[in-house]
Amino acid sequence: MRIVFAGGGTGGHLYPGLAIARELVRLDPSVKPFFVGALRGVEREVLPTTEFPHLLLDLHPLYRPAIWNNWKTIRGAITSWRKIGRMVREERPALVVGTGGYAAGLMLGYAVVHKIPIVQQAGDSHPGITARMFAPWSRQIYLAFPEAASVFDFDLKDRHRLIDAGAPIAPPPEPLPDKAAARERWGFPATGGRVLLIYGGSQGSLVINKAVAEWVKGGIPDDLYVIWATGRGTYEQFKRLDSPRVRVKDYLSPISEAYAASDIALARAGAMTTAELFAWKIPGILIPLPTAAADHQSLNARALEAAGAAIHLPQSTLTAHELAKTVAGVLASPTRMNQLAERSALRARPFAARDIAERILALVSP
């Protein structure tokens, strides 16, 4: 039984599909996941390294500022529609799972026209245009943020299709690793003080790194220990700041070793990042990427701050002074730290991928 996953462009639209697909195969080995994505997206590099067959197409987003470039979008859609048709004729899918982004739209459109059932995984607190456009035809929509429900215009009788599932991630081990032992592996004392994890995504963030560097040079609080992932591109620029209390790394692999030791994180506000943090019971100081599509990371950060699960620190206000003030304010109040940890744990959905896979199998079962 073939189930097609459509989405990509960015990791936030690809990795949820991979997590769900792997759970589907684990629950029912007869399922054959197949991925459809864009030649110009991150899936071009990621999908060939996975176990899943895939089709990469000449898909483009809508070019809003430079509308004259939309000829690429039209040309790519025409040729890609034909290729999707050939793939479907080879084996008609039982279901199409849309995971968002411009790479999902054409496959979802083809499915709607040819009466192939669809579901969607909506990854942000304010779902994008693709998710909203195909909502009327979606059997179910799996929300990473419960706040996203207000974006979809459904009748009350249809709202059962909106499912607060959480973001599909690789779940942490149960029970969580011993924190004292994890701290010692980083060279920190087993107890006392707090451990702050800093990372700006897989590529790092120069803006965040510069603010952190200035803060570290000025002196961090005595009761603080830092794990700082700079990203490979700028590691040489900051590696000299490594010390017994500030461990500077180019990349965290596996990142679970950092999660296991950390009490709080300074990170971007993508849905996958926050889902992983909360699954590990780590609250976040969130610095949204201002260039994210439709500024969705800012919307995520505001929603999580309103829920008491995170602190929103806009990049526009990020300085060493502001960073020092924010971190010191949290550390100075054990009550606030505990509240953040409790609220972030309430947002955790570590088994979202499994739960979504079970719902999908229920839909396609005879």
Asked if pLDDT for residue 75 goes beyond 90, the answer is no
pLDDT category, 63, cuts 50, 70, 90?
A: low
Asked if pLDDT for residue 328 goes beyond 90, the answer is yes
Q: What is the pLDDT of residue 294?
A: 76
Give residue 21's domain range: 2-171+351-364
Cβ–Cβ under 8 Å, residues 42 and 102: no
Measured between alpha carbons, how far is 283 from 40 in angstroms, rounded to an integer? 34
Residues 201 and 228 in one domain: yes
Least confident of 32-41, 67-76, 99-108, 181-190: 67-76
Residues 342 and 355 in one domain: no
Whether a cis peptide bond, with omega within 30° of 0, leads into 175 is yes
Helix or strand (DSSP H, E) at 138:
strand 138-143
Residues 356 and 339 in one domain: no
pLDDT category, 67, cuts 50, 70, 90?
A: confident
Residues 205 and 162 in one domain: no
How much is the average pLDDT of 7-24?
A: 92
pLDDT category, 62, cuts 50, 70, 90?
A: low
Measured between alpha carbons, how far is 236 from 231 in angstroms, rounded to an integer? 10
The CATH number covering residue 113 comes to 3.40.50.2000
List Cβ<8 Å contacts ≥24 apart for 339-343. Answer: 339/308, 340/264, 340/283, 340/308, 340/309, 340/310, 340/311, 341/263, 341/281, 341/282, 341/283, 343/283, 343/307, 343/308, 343/309
Asked if pLDDT for residue 150 goes beyond 70, the answer is yes
Determine the length of the chain. 366
How much is the average pLDDT of 48-54?
A: 96
Smallest CA-to-CA distance from 185 within 261, 278, 102, 298 is with 261
Q: What is the pLDDT of residue 358?
A: 98
Tell me how many domains the chain contains: 2
Residue in the structure block whose two tokens are 């419960």: 146
Asked if pLDDT for residue 279 goes beyond 80, the answer is yes
How much is the average pLDDT of 196-224?
A: 93
Asked if pLDDT for residue 66 goes beyond 80, the answer is no
DSSP helix/strand/coil, 324: helix
Write the pLDDT tens digit of every residue in 79-97.
Answer: 889 999 999 999 999 999 9
Cβ–Cβ under 8 Å, residues 283 and 264: yes
Residue 358: count other Cβ atoms within 10 Å of its Cβ.
14
Residues 184 and 330 in one domain: yes
Residues 151 and 215 in one domain: no
Least confident of 66-80, 259-273, 284-298: 66-80
Helix or strand (DSSP H, E) at 184:
helix 179-185
Helix or strand (DSSP H, E) at 360:
helix 352-364
Amino acid of residue 177: P
pLDDT category, 37, cuts 50, 70, 90?
A: very high
Q: What is the pLDDT of residue 9?
A: 83
Residues with Cβ within 8 Å of residue 231, at least 6 apart in sequence: 199, 200, 201, 202, 203, 204, 205, 209, 250, 251
Asked if pLDDT for residue 240 goes beyond 70, the answer is yes
Residues 55 and 165 in one domain: yes
DSSP H helical segments within 11-97, as ranges? 11-27, 43-46, 70-90
Least confident of 155-164, 257-266, 299-308: 155-164
Q: What is the pLDDT of residue 177?
A: 95
Please provide the average confidence, as pLDDT, over all residues in the chain. Answer: 92
pLDDT category, 64, cuts 50, 70, 90?
A: low
Residues 187 and 128 in one domain: no
pLDDT category, 68, cuts 50, 70, 90?
A: low
User: Which of the two residues, 294 and 194, has the higher pLDDT score?
Assistant: 194
Residues 291 and 319 in one domain: yes
